[in-house]
Amino acid sequence: MALITYREALNRALREEMERDENVFLLGEEVGEYDGAYKVSKGLLDEFGEWRVRDTPIAENGFAGLGVGAAMVGLRPVVEFMTWNFALLAFDAIVNSAAKMYAMSGGQYNVPIVFRGPGGSALQLSAQHSQVPDPWYANIPGLKVCTPATPADALGLLKSAIRDNDPVVFIEGELLYNVKGEVPDGEHLVPIGVADVKRAGADVTIVTHAKMVHVALQAADQLAKEFEVEAEVIDLRCVRPLDTGLAIESVRKTNRAVVLEEGWPIAGIGAQLVDDIQREAFDALDAPIARVSGLDVPMHYARSLEKLIVPSPETVIRAVKHVCYLD
Amino acid sequence: MALITYREALNRALREEMERDENVFLLGEEVGEYDGAYKVSKGLLDEFGEWRVRDTPIAENGFAGLGVGAAMVGLRPVVEFMTWNFALLAFDAIVNSAAKMYAMSGGQYNVPIVFRGPGGSALQLSAQHSQVPDPWYANIPGLKVCTPATPADALGLLKSAIRDNDPVVFIEGELLYNVKGEVPDGEHLVPIGVADVKRAGADVTIVTHAKMVHVALQAADQLAKEFEVEAEVIDLRCVRPLDTGLAIESVRKTNRAVVLEEGWPIAGIGAQLVDDIQREAFDALDAPIARVSGLDVPMHYARSLEKLIVPSPETVIRAVKHVCYLD
Amino acid sequence: MASTEDVVNQDQFDGIPKEKLLEILRSMLMSRRFEEKTAESYQVGKIGGFCHLYIGQEAVATGAISALREDDYVITAYRDHAQALVRGMSPRKVMAELYGRIDGCSGGAGGSMHMFDKDINFMGGHGIVGTHLPIATGVGYAIRYRQTDQVCLCFFGDSVVNGGPFHEAFNMTAKWELPVVYIVENNSYGMGTDIDRVAAVDELFLRACAYQGKRAEQVDGQDVLAVHAAVKRAVVRAREEKRPTFIEAQTYRYLGHSMSDPAHGVYRTREEVAQERERDPINTFVDQLTDAGVITDEQVEEIDQQVIAEVEDAAEFAENSAVPGPEEIYRNVYSDEYRGGADGRDAWR
Amino acid sequence: MASTEDVVNQDQFDGIPKEKLLEILRSMLMSRRFEEKTAESYQVGKIGGFCHLYIGQEAVATGAISALREDDYVITAYRDHAQALVRGMSPRKVMAELYGRIDGCSGGAGGSMHMFDKDINFMGGHGIVGTHLPIATGVGYAIRYRQTDQVCLCFFGDSVVNGGPFHEAFNMTAKWELPVVYIVENNSYGMGTDIDRVAAVDELFLRACAYQGKRAEQVDGQDVLAVHAAVKRAVVRAREEKRPTFIEAQTYRYLGHSMSDPAHGVYRTREEVAQERERDPINTFVDQLTDAGVITDEQVEEIDQQVIAEVEDAAEFAENSAVPGPEEIYRNVYSDEYRGGADGRDAWR
Ligand SMILES: Cc1ncc(C[n+]2csc(CCOP(=O)(O)OP(=O)(O)O)c2C)c(N)n1
Ligand SMILES: Cc1ncc(C[n+]2csc(CCOP(=O)(O)OP(=O)(O)O)c2C)c(N)n1
Ligand SMILES: [Mg+2]
Ligand SMILES: [Mg+2]
């Protein structure tokens, strides 16, 4: 076990996979000379050279499409978007080309590519730079979507994503890069599409993913201290495949659920969780499932409002108290 | 009352609003000389001239952005996408520019623009040309999203959309253009974000929108004939604002609900409906809410499979029988 | 290599062996006859969806692809039957795909717009205008990455030159010196829009001026040998110098944009179409060959009959191929066992 | 109009009235001092988010905007403080926006990257590279639509020339002859990337060759009068002939890409930055004015002091402006009463 940051975990995953397979290469804005806008690719250019660590022009749709073409002939591109907000320009390359190639070629051309970068809000980046794309990509068959919350999951999932033979949308947390956590020594792989219990508890189930896992854990600690409510925190880790089995099992035990996400409410990941849980555990539910999401507005720049728009432990606690009839 | 097609209704809405307000103009591929790929803009170039009916190059992101700029200085562009599949290239202009301008300018620059075109699958158009974008746009604050199912709603909603001061995503049914229906004579406006009961019934509630309204109505007729089940069919008409009030009311009466959509299941519109209904009518539900959606795959070209991927009356009937414990 | 006897000496054929000339003729005829049959089958409802025919443009695909090596790559847009056939895809596979049958090149999943055949490096068949250009750039990137001497040939339509993907792809291809030959099939129209009405440039090949390192030239797309020669030069340049080239082939589409579109219509006159048919690429080439005594009219007729027979066989094969069954629905969504949202979420099927 | 006495006779000022020259000097000083204060406030945490300073590039925004009429439009990217100030936005409004306060030009909703002021036709302030170019094209379209003689001036960074939005916007602007003046602030770098490493063209203005009808020229972006003259010509052309122009202004950014980025770093040397600082646009212009006797060093000092005082006042104003309260959250999402998913879906706030 070693204690490293989420950023270091991603860097290690890239280095290990590039050393393991010469077909793996990284491309994107500033990934080379600059070591990446968030320094995730630190040192890789020096180690692997410009053909394997390629600085691109600002042409998201173009270099995402380039990645698709390279993947179709057997390379394994890792396309870095400086942030997922800029990938809106590459939405077509991801959804119409990458996600559909294998199906529309009748299973001839699979596309082993990873699209990665930070998503979600950070600090005061305002409307165009603070978005959660998770639900859009989770909706698309042909893609897999990973959203790691911890260094260990970031390491293990990115390695699995690079080895995966299908396109993977890999959404990192802009505010998680400095988060530290234990990661196993040696090869560490986390299977794509398998949820994880991040905290055990018998009274209520909190289902969430990405950055919100940390918010849920903070809320859970406070709930235990102040209200003697033991919350089970389930981290989906990926939103496609969406593994709701653990959550459903947990709800059958706790009979109460809160689903939490950073993004906007309408047709969000939380909505899908509610659908799956009520379908599979209807009779086990003692109360309607409560959803907590980011507020339904473009992000404000003012810190005073940003704080209120993104879900906080307090919001989660209120929701939990409601489903536990403590309010 | 006059009996006209959905296509004629849209054409009438455009003509009436262009005559009413000289700031309204139409732009897109083939909208002029060619009368529109689906002939929705028939005759408009002759009547209004090239500055108000502009044939564009194939540059979706560019002309969508052009529309945003024109709208910011007071014009009212109607941007036609030949189909919404091509709008994936304009996703940034719609989501990062149109939807956020009013908020990020602190309420100074509203964007009175309509983005319109056909969505969903048609007949054997395969993966890249058969997609339902409804959930992606419904997720975005700053947008309004209309999905009319009938000529009367197409007419009334498009006129309201053009008069609306905010960006409206207007998704037409590629297979609905030839559908005929009664439309009131004279000015007909349908408010954006108000659902409508398309068939009354006391035994089960079917909540849906767009093309699936017709599938639901067929299913309802068969259910009445063959199983004496009277289904209430609620047409959302818009998916943002998402008016679930009628649906919730109906479920309180029928105690059973099926939510139906053409698109993919994960984080779809149906998921949001389940969330809203179970939250507001939890105690009224006698059974879990059943969801029917398109299958979770890129669309196949083969007609034999396309038929199975898009929800049919038979699928809906199976779901209804399930929630009514008739299976 | 062809032995000296087969080499036709007229310089007009600049040393192309006779067998190669006949292969080129045969390819053009195949493409023409195949699509005449396609139109017929479409009219009687055996083919569905959007179907774009190449009739009139045969010299472009044939002249270009015949200049490639077997291990090179070919990629194009949705008007892709000719490129697939010339590249060597069996007419049976192409027709079965059009019929939406299990023996189609893409198992009936793609249809007319999405022909793919990995065995011959035929990379599709893409439906979103312009978006396959960056994909071609990626193939070129992979070639240099692996340091092989392959080439990627990318066809696209005139309307592509006004879109962002064209610009982003050309800039990266030129900057990184990727072995890609881009060839625009300039048939003057994007659907019903005359390219001159929407492009702020007189001659499309001039757009290359904005990408130093990318050579450009214009060629008569109705002259199969001219196209062949231009692409051959470009291929050598790509293979040996790793430099991209942009070729504008001026051609013409005889029929409507797609099967649901009239041959002329408001955007062009019946006369214009009739006049363009005068410079038919196949007739022109046949005359060239017969005048030069390379082949007789009877031999042309013979080849034509063989081609027609092969097309009929393809149609019959397609007719008898199985319609894809439900078990195919989820098969090619992912290359592993994951089956999408299938679990419980579509319980009603 | 300025009376003849105010007109400075040296041709080097090609007839620009003295008051106008002083206004230009004042604008550059304001932009410089304002951003020095901005950096200071950022360091102590009074300003957050991404913050991109224009220090070193002042001559571009000042020279260009000073050539406009009040009813013309201005639009730019996220490096937008200088353009806002030169256009006439009050320093108080800009600083309050940076502080995220209610009296900011956008009520604290936009911050550094999104300055907007409808009263002076200042259209932002856009964060996604290149995507405001089509918006400018739309403004040009609206001008011709309404048949007024306004002009739209659009600033953007060098890295924009490699993206699709640039291409699509330039093609439409040139084809439809829209009165838009596009000016690229070529500071040689896009973040840490030297433009020469990613653009397949030596001189950015050459890209205009692909869009007939769009004139292009290159100008020294550190010479405020040269920029002013070039933009003035372009504006006349746009106003009278309805023709677009593409101007490349060669300039330099002294500080890091944003406040979180070091001044030089791996992509450029300390020496390069020091050397570029030698041709400081403000010093150059001051020398020009004093040498020509238009103004004395004392008078420059006086203006500078006034500017500094105004900046301090702006900071104090921002400091005292209210922090937006919860009631602001949903206010500007829609211009009618619809409040998004608020109903029930966020019951826990
Ligand atoms: C991005 C995008 N926009 C619109 C369409 C609809 N569409 C299909 S083909 C076509 C015309 C393309 O013309 P061109 O590129 O000249 O090719 P051609 O059909 O002449 O071979 C259009 C507008 C599309 N497929 N993709
Ligand atoms: C589409 C997009 N991709 C990436 C980014 C991240 N980013 C912000 S500024 C910038 C560099 C832009 O450089 P340039 O256009 O030269 O403008 P400058 O910063 O030099 O003024 C990048 C890559 C972005 N904002 N938008
Ligand atoms: Mg064409
Ligand atoms: Mg720059």
Residue C127 CA: nearest ligand 1 atom is: 25
pLDDT digits (tens, 9 = 90+) for C151-186: 999 999 999 999 999 999 999 999 999 999 999 999
Contacts of D113 in chain A (CB under 8 A): 126, 128-129
Q: What is the spatial distance between Cα A275 and Cα A278, in angstroms, rounded to a whole number?
A: 5
Residue of D nearest to A291 (CA): D345
User: Beta partners for B2?
Assistant: B183
* Whole-Å CA distances, B182 to B6, B146, B195: 10, 19, 18
| Exposure class string for A14-32: b at 16+ Cβ within 10 A, else e | bbbbbeeeebbbbbbbbbb
Contacts of B68 in chain D (CB under 8 A): 134-135, 138
Cα D81 to averaged position of ligand 2 atoms, centre (Å): 16
Candidate of D76, D159, D186 to mutate for ligand 2, largest count of ligand atoms within 8 Å of Cβ: D159
* Cβ-defined contact of B127 to A287 (cutoff 8 Å): no
Mean pLDDT computed over every residue of chain D: 95
Neighbours of chain C (3+ CB pairs under 8 A): A, B, D
Determine whether C59 is exposed, middle or buried from the number of CB atoms within 10 Å of its CB (0-12, 13-18, 19+): buried
Among A65, A154, A76, smallest CA distance to A118 is for A154
- Provide, as residue numbers in chain D, all residues whose Cβ is less than 8 Å from the Cβ of A56: 198
- Distance, in angstroms, between C142 CA and closest chain A CA? 5
Find the angle CA(B305)-CA(B306)-CA(B310) to the nearest 5 degrees: 120
pLDDT of C3 above 50: no
**What b/e sequence results for B132-154 when a residue is b if at least 16 CB atoms lie within 10 Å of its CB, and e otherwise?**
bbbbbbbbbbbbbbbbbbbbbbb
Verify whether ligand 1 is closer than 6 Å to residue C234 (CB atom): no
Q: From the CA atom positions of chain B, what is the Rg in Å?
A: 20
From the CB of C16, is ligand 1 less than 6 Å away?
Answer: no
For ligand 1, whether the C-beta of C166 sits within 6 Å is no
Contact C209 D214 (CB under 8 A): no
CB C145 within 8 A of CB C66: no
Mutate to test the interface with A, among C332, C337, C339 (most CBs of A within 10 A): C332
User: Cis omega before residue C125 (within 30°)?
Assistant: yes
Report the share of chain D in percent with pLDDT over 70: 96
Give the pLDDT score at C214. 86
Q: What's the mean pLDDT in D249-268?
A: 93
pLDDT band for position C341 (50/70/90)? Answer: confident
Strand partners, C7: C17
Mean pLDDT value across residues D233-241: 97
Give residue C8's pLDDT band: very low, low, confident or very high (50, 70, 90).
Answer: low
Cβ contact, residue pair D172, B69, below 8 Å: no
Q: Is the pLDDT of residue C302 over 60?
A: yes
Where residue D14 falls among pLDDT bands split at 50, 70, 90? confident
Q: What is the DSSP letter of C48?
A: -
Instruction: Write out pLDDT tens, residues D270-312.
Output: 999 999 999 999 999 999 999 999 999 999 999 999 999 999 9
Q: Is D134 in CB contact (< 8 Å) with chain C?
A: no
Nearest beta carbon to residue A61 from set C138, C165, C340: C165
CB B165 within 8 A of CB D336: yes
Residue B58 touches partner C, C-beta closer than 8 Å: yes
Reply yes or no on whether the pLDDT at C9 is more than 70.
no
Distance from CA of A62 to the nearest CA of C (A): 5
C-alpha C193 chain-centroid distance: 21
- Quick one: pLDDT band at residue D213, thresholds 50, 70, 90? confident
Among D160, D149, D154, residue whose Cα is nearest residue D65: D154
Q: What is the pLDDT of residue B195?
A: 98
Q: Is A325 on the interface with C (CB under 8 A)?
A: no
Interface contact flag, C193 B123, Cβ < 8 Å: no
> Looking at the DSSP assignment, which residues form a beta bridge with residue D250?
D186, D220
CB contact under 8 A, D200 and C209: no
Kindly state if the Cβ of D227 falls inside 6 Å of ligand 2.
Answer: no
As given in the structure block, the two tokens for residue A172 are 């990192």
Enumerate residue ranges in chain B where pLDDT < 70. Answer: none
pLDDT in tens, chain A (327 residues): 899 999 999 999 999 999 999 999 999 999 999 999 999 999 999 999 999 999 999 999 999 999 999 999 999 999 999 999 999 999 999 999 999 999 999 999 999 999 999 999 999 999 999 999 999 999 999 999 999 999 999 999 999 999 999 999 999 999 999 999 999 999 999 999 999 999 999 999 999 999 999 999 999 999 999 999 999 999 999 999 999 999 999 999 999 999 999 999 999 999 999 999 999 999 999 999 999 999 999 999 999 999 999 999 999 999 999 999 998
* A55, A128, A319 ranked by CB distance to D348: nearest: A319
pLDDT surpassing 80 at residue C346: no
Q: What is the dihedral of CA D288, D289, D294, D299, to 10 degrees?
A: -150
Q: A114-170 pLDDT, tens per residue?
A: 999 999 999 999 999 999 999 999 999 999 999 999 999 999 999 999 999 999 999
Helices (H) and strands (E) in chain D, counts: 12, 8
* CB of D210 less than 8 A from some CB of B: no
Contact list in D for residue C174 (CB cut-off 8 A) is 200
- Per DSSP, helices labelled H in chain D are 18-43, 58-65, 81-87, 91-98, 132-146, 164-175, 195-198, 224-241, 270-278, 281-291, 297-320, 342-345
CA distances from C95 to C34, C37, C39, C41, C120 (A): 8, 9, 11, 10, 17
**Within an 8 Å CB–CB cutoff, is residue A179 touching chain D?**
no
Q: Which residues, by Cβ under 5 Å, contact ligand 4, an ion?
A: D 157-158, 187, 189-190
Are B128 and C128 within 8 A, CB to CB?
A: yes
SS3 B200: coil
Examine the pLDDT at C7 and tell me if it is beyond 70: no
- My answer on whether omega of the bond before A241 falls inside 30° of 0, hence cis, is yes
Q: Which residue of A has its CA nearest to B134?
A: A267
Asked whether the beta carbons of residue D199 and residue C162 sit closer than 8 angstroms, the reply is: no
Mean pLDDT value of segment C204-209: 95
- State yes or no: pLDDT of D148 exceeds 80: yes
Please work out whether the CB of residue D81 comes within 6 Å of at least one atom of ligand 2. Answer: no
Q: Quick check: C164 contacting D, CB < 8 Å?
A: yes
Nearest ligand, measured from the Cα of C186: 3
* pLDDT of residue C4 exceeding 60: no
Which residues 131-190 of D are in CB contact (within 8 Å) with A?
Answer: 131, 159-160, 162-164, 190
Mean per-residue pLDDT, D307-336:
97
CA dist., res. D89 & res. D84, Å (int): 5
Residue C326 structure tokens: 């439900």
Interval D43-82: pLDDT, tens: 999 999 999 999 999 999 999 999 999 999 999 999 999 9
- pLDDT score recorded for residue D340: 83
The shortest CB-CB distance from B104 to any of D73, D106, D169 is to: D106
Closest of C259, C254, C314 to residue C51, by C-alpha: C259
Whose atoms come closest to the Cα of C192: which ligand?
1
Instruction: Name the percent of chain A lying above pLDDT 90.
Output: 99
How many other CB atoms are found less than 10 A from the CB of residue D28?
26
Percent of chain C residues past pLDDT 90, beyond the cut? 91
> What is the chain C residue with the closest CA to B316?
C348
Give the residue numbers of B marked as catalytic: 60, 129
What confidence category does residue D9 fall into, taking pLDDT thresholds of 50, 70 and 90? low
pLDDT digits (tens, 9 = 90+) for D92-102: 999 999 999 99
Ligand nearest D162 Cα, by number? 2
**Per the CB < 8 Å rule, is A107 touching C335?**
yes
Q: Which amino acid would we find at residue D133?
A: L
Cβ–Cβ under 8 Å, residues A214 and A262: no
Residues of A designated as active site? 60, 129
Residue A82 Cβ inside 6 Å of ligand 2? The answer reads yes
pLDDT of residue A313: 98
Rounded CA separation A266/D99 (Å) = 31
**Closest C-alpha residue for ligand 1 atom 8:** C129
| CB of B203 closer than 8 Å to CB of B248 | no
D348 contacts chain A (CB < 8 A): yes
Q: How far is the CA of C167 from the centre of ligand 3 (A)?
A: 18
Ligand 1 contact via C129 beta carbon (within 6 Å):
yes
Helix (H, G, I), strand (E, B) or coil at A291: strand
Q: What is the Å distance from ligand 4's center to A56 Cα?
A: 15
Residue A29 CA to residue A5 CA, distance in Å, equals 22
pLDDT on residue B107: 98
Q: Using CA atoms, how far apart are residues D206 and C209, in angstroms rounded to an integer?
A: 8
Chosen from C158, C162, C167 to mutate, greatest number of chain D CBs within 10 A: C167
Does D159 contact ligand 2 (Cβ within 6 A)?
A: yes
The 3 state secondary structure assigned to C273-321 is HHHHHHCCHHHHHHHHHHHCCCCCHHHHHHHHHHHHHHHHHHHHHHHHC
Quick one: which H or E segment has residue A118?
strand A114-119
Neighbour subunits, D (≥3 Cβ pairs < 8 A) = A, B, C
Strands D215-220 and D245-250: parallel
Q: Residue D343's pLDDT is what?
A: 66
